[in-house]
Structure 1
């Protein structure tokens, strides 16, 4: 899975930065939700730097597993490392806050939360969003099968509590973008690093998937149901 993530996002940093309009919208909502975060922060799954570039949070370290994303992010902030958010290369009590936009679903949520708790200082804050069940409904409808195993809201909140976080606030927002047909949607997913995983990686299976999207001639709505959480230690 992590190899797939590295491959997908290391190929498409330029197109991701241009095409990921819902991710950018989510970043703006997250920044407004977080308010005035002070001190030193860490941006988990920093990507091309939406949170850095759209906010006033300048004393921040970026973390991403994809090398090309890190190279792109470095244009705006030299403080960035290639790392797995499940195994952060930082000492305990290193940061005043942690933020993450549209990234935590790519990792084991429990392991990641444990690492965040470890690197945050006492009274540290953790503000993030994560796609939950009900996301990518049109994609699954076109495929005719359940394809994505997103977490549910109670699971996220319970994990945070078990790891020692207090839930200060949370809400769910449904972000969506309409495409003229299924194939346009598929191209967008491709450019933003979203792999349509199947049980088989054969060329014939890939063609079958493409044909399913091409056969969807009517408008297709891409949606992400996002859980936004403000937590603290």
Structure 2
């Protein structure tokens, strides 16, 4: 699945900025939290996309998609193509890390410990992640169109808290509910697939796709349930 995700986000790299509406909203909320703390640089941005969240020479963009990393470099940002589950960085090498709308694509039991590993003692981690309940209307239409079509499983909020709190002292958190109605199913779906978030598990047959569009056109709405959480690296060894 990881190779499919990497390919999908590379293909969507040039359209990412056009369709990253929800990501920008959550990212703005995340940046406000960062401003509350006396963070140290450089700041590592995990799953940086095109580098819209952070700007400046003291930030490190990291994305699994080579095309995304390439676009970051074109914007004069320090960029690395790498996997959040196996960060290509030395242990205790960065003081601050952020991740916006990206770790849902990873195994949290791998990516969050990796963040812990590369952060310096007392390092801060700021995370926004869509959780279960996201894309509820779209997924409901898909299930009616094809009861055999598997949909992407967002992590449970409880799961995020459990993994996060094993490695970080939770400083604060917030729940966001982002929603927008669109003119048509086609337009709504573009704000999901246009950033590279295509279902990695398969494709609908034509008859199922037509049925999905007919159903989703009744209420072409995209919604995300987002958990924003800030933490400080716990003073212990893994």
Structure 1 length normalisation: TM-score?
0.90
| Aligned-partner SS, 1:92 | coil
Distance in 1 (CA, whole Å) between partners of 2:22 and 2:229 is 18
What residue number does 1:170 align with? 173
Distance in 2 (CA, whole Å) between partners of 1:208 and 1:7 is 26
What residue number does 2:112 align with? 113
Distance in 2 (CA, whole Å) between partners of 1:161 and 1:69 is 30
Regions of 4+ moved over 4 Å? none
| Aligned-partner SS, 1:180 | coil
What residue number does 1:161 align with? 165
What residue number does 2:132 align with? 133
What residue number does 2:47 align with? 45
Distance in 1 (CA, whole Å) between partners of 2:197 and 2:205 is 14
Distance in 2 (CA, whole Å) between partners of 1:115 and 1:26 is 23
Mapping of residues 1-233 of structure 1, within 5 Å = 1-35=1-35, 36=37, 37-53=39-55, 58-144=57-143, 147-162=151-166, 164-198=167-201, 200-201=202-203, 205-216=204-215, 217-233=217-233
Question: Are the aligned partners of 1:45 and 1:101 in contact in 2 as well (CA < 8 Å)?
Answer: yes
What residue number does 2:236 align with? none
Give 5+ residue unaligned stretches, structure 1.
none
Distance 1:141 1:32, change over 3 A: same
Give 5+ residue unaligned stretches, structure 2.
234-238
Structure 2 length normalisation: TM-score?
0.88
User: How far has the Cα of 1:189 moved from its partner?
Assistant: 2.2
